[in-house]
Amino acid sequence: MATVTRAQATTPRRTNALGVHSLNRFVFTVPDLAPAEAFYRSFGLDARRDGDRLDLYTQGHPHCWGSIHANGQPKRLQYLSFAAYAEDFDALAQRVRGAGAADAHPLSDGRGAWTRDADGTAIQVVVGPKVSPAVKSAHAQEPPPAAGKGAAPNRSAAAPVRPRRLSHVLLFSPDVPRQTEFYERVLGLRLADRSGDVIAFMYGPHASDHHMVAFAKSEAPGLHHSSWDVGHFDDVGLGAELMKAKGYVNGWGVGRHVLGSNYFYYVQDPWGSWAEYSYDIDFVPEDVEWPAADHPAEDSFYIWGPSVPDDFVVNREQPRTA
């Protein structure tokens, strides 16, 4: 009898759970695309220019993970798009519109169901492929090098850093518990872990990383960072050095988080927010209920790594007037 193993299941489903399965896209605006193009290409993404828009792909992957539009204004988060299984869409769309139907964002493709989250950020739900992981992301070298021979390449032979996929985004929020409640009730995400009302991490019900969306307390909404999965611990350090060599000298890391367990390096982007190289983040299968807990912030931010830069949690997006 044929048995479908977890590794073969590309569309895992949690029993009796209605919710989105993936963060489909994050979209923000910047004053000018040229610095965006230079930054994300240096970071290792396949950044494709189309007029006033820059689309963020990972090398060799068909999915567009993010779009950046130029509008001459300071950087600003515009909307998040989530994807659901086709058989869930009607029920989800009803719930999304029931939370307060909104017009499609003018920078979007106009598809799907729209609402606004608890902070007023536009949210799109569409039918789309599951691009969040269905299984724990593997180390790039499987199996690891055997004993009896050197594992590290010469410095000159180190492969370029090529993130494999988007892992998550972290948004600023003036009210983290209110956002958490919205994403759980409307989109079906689940709380993984939190630190009081200061930070919260949410995973997808149908298998995902420990967080596909997270929120950090601030005076206003905003995009704090996007996080990109790499296939090797070396890529975190190599990426850090590569970005420094290209002039992107402000960063935080290399270190290891407690909540999510990933190894990280954050590099500051041209607008004062961050892009993260992430390796080996925790994974929540569709048949596991993550034991959500409230952790003391000082003991759960990172296990080891350099001191946190003073401007790491500075929100440079201005409070919204409308």
Residue 276 binds to Fe ion (criterion: CB under 5 A): yes
Q: Tell me the window of 93-101, 122-130, 201-209, 224-232 that interacts with Fe ion (CB under 5 A).
A: 224-232
Give the residue with the Cβ less far from Fe ion, 108 or 218: 218
Q: Tell me the window of 1-9, 11-19, 87-95, 273-281 that interacts with Fe ion (CB under 5 A).
A: 273-281
CA atoms of 191 and 203, how far apart (whole Å): 7
Nearest partner of 220 among 161, 170, 174, judged by Cα: 174
CA atoms of 124 and 116, how far apart (whole Å): 9
Is there a contact between 163 and 229 (Cβ–Cβ < 8 Å)?
yes
Residue 269 binds to Fe ion (criterion: CB under 5 A): no
Residue 229 binds to Fe ion (criterion: CB under 5 A): no
Residue 234 binds to Fe ion (criterion: CB under 5 A): no
Give the residue with the Cβ less far from Fe ion, 276 or 282: 276
Q: Tell me the window of 177-185, 216-224, 226-234, 235-243 that interacts with Fe ion (CB under 5 A).
A: 226-234
Residue from 227, 268, 273, 315 binding Fe ion (CB under 5 A): 227
Give the residue with the Cβ less far from Fe ion, 33 or 161: 161
What are the distances in angstroms from CA 287 to CA 205, 206, 207? 9, 8, 8
**Cis, bond preceding 12 (omega within 30 deg of 0):** no
Query: Interaction with Fe ion in 10-39: which residues (CB under 5 A)?
Result: none
Owner of token pair 């919260």: 200
CA atoms of 139 and 129, how far apart (whole Å): 23
**Cis, bond preceding 267 (omega within 30 deg of 0):** no
Residue 78 binds to Fe ion (criterion: CB under 5 A): no
| Positions that interact with Fe ion (CB under 5 A) | 227, 276
